[in-house]
Chain A
Amino acid sequence: MFSTLKSILGVVACAWILVGCEAAPPPTNLAPAKEKAAQCVEPTEDIRKNHMAYLMQHRDATVIEGIRTKQHSLVECINCHVTPTRADGSAVHYEDKDHFCASCHTYAGVKIDCFQCHADRPDLASQTNYQHKLGSAESYHFSTKLSASPALSAQDMQAITSGVVQ
């Protein structure tokens, strides 16, 4: 009787451990970022291949000459593509696999040093023009496509309220 109980307990424990093993970190959700990439500041293929060249050119123009256009600004990349916090409120940083930039850089084995100095996520407290994907006040991303203010569909609303949208 006791041994049966023991073996049952053993099986349960094993199953418990196995379940624990399976509960790996949740997969990176790139859907919102991909959605946004479709309306990125340059065509997707171009920006994937050449974002570093754009950034490099822009950083020199900004720091040395004081040109502050937004199209190729790193802060704007972060505003659009990186969520300030995860759904549970924890911070997402470049070291984490689910950070937008890291998701690709880790895969490609590219280590960059931008984020040794630059903020790797939007600072909501001090940044009033943080761009939400939909209905941003500064909608230069969409200016060529939208003339009127974008109407939100029921699906959009659900996405926003569920916190899925980055």
Chain B
Amino acid sequence: MTSNQVNEYRRRFMAGLGLAAGATLAPNFILRSAQAADVVARPDNEPASSAKRWGMLIDANRLTDGGASMVEACKREHGWGNDPQASAEQQPQWMRVVKVTDKHTKHSFTLPVMCQHCENPPCVDVCPTGASMKRADGIVYVNKHTCIGCRYCMMACPYKARSFVHEPLKDQKPHSPRGMGTVESCNLCVHRIDKGQLPACVEAAPHAVIFGDLNDPESRISQALKALGGTQIRADLGLNTGVRYLNI
């Protein structure tokens, strides 16, 4: 068996398990864990379609480490965070752990914050070259071939989700090109989603995250959102984010 076949087998096995479990549970019970079956691979020659919109639901209560392992997984996957000449403030940051404390009650919690993949992304609005773009399936990222490094999008993003690469780099990950003079941010692991894999950070915290298609009312993420709700950070901005949180 090649490793692909093994994965395929596992996927089907897990999907089978999911069905079996679903049948015995009350219908409104939501299994809160990421499953590979939530993402279906698209054929290589097929463009991304607006029939789908990818999203993520993160349960802050279930993140025992506050999201640190998700950040680590993202660093490993894309190779950011250790640019050799950048100072600590200059290091790119695709995802970070944010601590929030209520001034009155002193109650505090942490949540991982990355690009929220807004439906109406301000970063795309302000980009003078069209390099900051939203793909048909709702993923927002930077087309570095046309990015001129003006950093308007960094200013426009209400979530401080974007970073700038300050120095020449070498030995980038082949699936994740990064280079001096361009802006970068979480791209929802677009290279993995297209292959039918979960984003790296989701894989690192499977018990706390559900990933899937927000446009499909039958998808587990849509059902979870319907049953449990889910918070957008800065919902007042009306950006309709693709990343939602529970228990924040």
**B170 within 8 Å of A by Cβ?**
yes
- Give the residues in chain A near B195, CB-CB below 8 Å: 68
By the criterion of a CB under 8 Å from any partner CB, how many residues of chain B are at the interface?
Answer: 33
Stretch at the interface among B108-116, B175-183, B208-216, B217-225: B175-183
> Complex: how many Å from CA A93 to CA B171?
9
- Give the residues in chain B near A137, CB-CB below 8 Å: 2
> Complex: how many Å from CA A83 to CA B42?
30
Q: Judge whether A75 and B175 touch: CB under 8 Å.
A: yes
By the criterion of a CB under 8 Å from any partner CB, how many residues of chain A are at the interface?
Answer: 27
> Complex: how many Å from CA A70 to CA B175?
13
**B135 within 8 Å of A by Cβ?**
yes
* Contacts A64-B135, A66-B48, A67-B47 given; does A117 touch B172 at CB 8 Å: yes
Main secondary structure on B side of the interface with A: loop
Stretch at the interface among A39-47, A104-112, A118-126: A118-126
Instruction: Convert A31-74 into 0s and 1s, putting 1 for each residue whose CB lies closer than 8 angstroms to a CB of B.
Output: 00000000000000000000000000001110111111110000
- Give the residues in chain A near B180, CB-CB below 8 Å: 116
**B239 within 8 Å of A by Cβ?**
no
**B27 within 8 Å of A by Cβ?**
no
Residues of B at the A interface (CB closer than 8 Å) are 2-3, 42, 44-48, 133, 135-137, 143-145, 168-175, 177-182, 190-191, 194-195
